[in-house]
Amino acid sequence: MIDLTFVATVLAGGAGAGLRYVVDALVMRGRPDRFPLGIFLVNVTGSFALSLLLGLELQPVWNSVIGVGLLGGYTTFSAVSVETVLLIQRRRRRRALLNAVGTLAATVAAVGLGVLLGLLITVGY
């Protein structure tokens, strides 16, 4: 028997990966050797959305489909790592450091904001 939550999570993961591609392509259009702002925005918005989702305390199936599937496919730490190494190889060390440290700081801040907002919505403030 096929588990529908599994199938929905897999399909949502594909949709999330496609969404990541579109967002990155739109943000980086005409800026191929600049700071990787597209992936940065993907990871910050994805971290915020995931923490908001968890803060809302929805049914576990939604955490799987939206959190693991859609947002798991959307966000990507590996792309941050690759972009950081590429910046180092291009001798753009400051941008590489900003990408690595900035992504970590911004995503942690986004998670904090998402959790707070989720709690406020759940409690009803």
State the binding site for Na(+): 72, 75
| Contact criterion met (CB below 8 Å) for 17 and 71 | no
Buried b or exposed e, range 92-110, using 16+ CB within 10 angstroms: beebbebbbeebeebbeeb
State the binding site: 72, 75
Compute the distance between CA of residue 99 and CA of residue 72 in angstroms, rounded to an integer. 20
| Contact criterion met (CB below 8 Å) for 77 and 42 | no
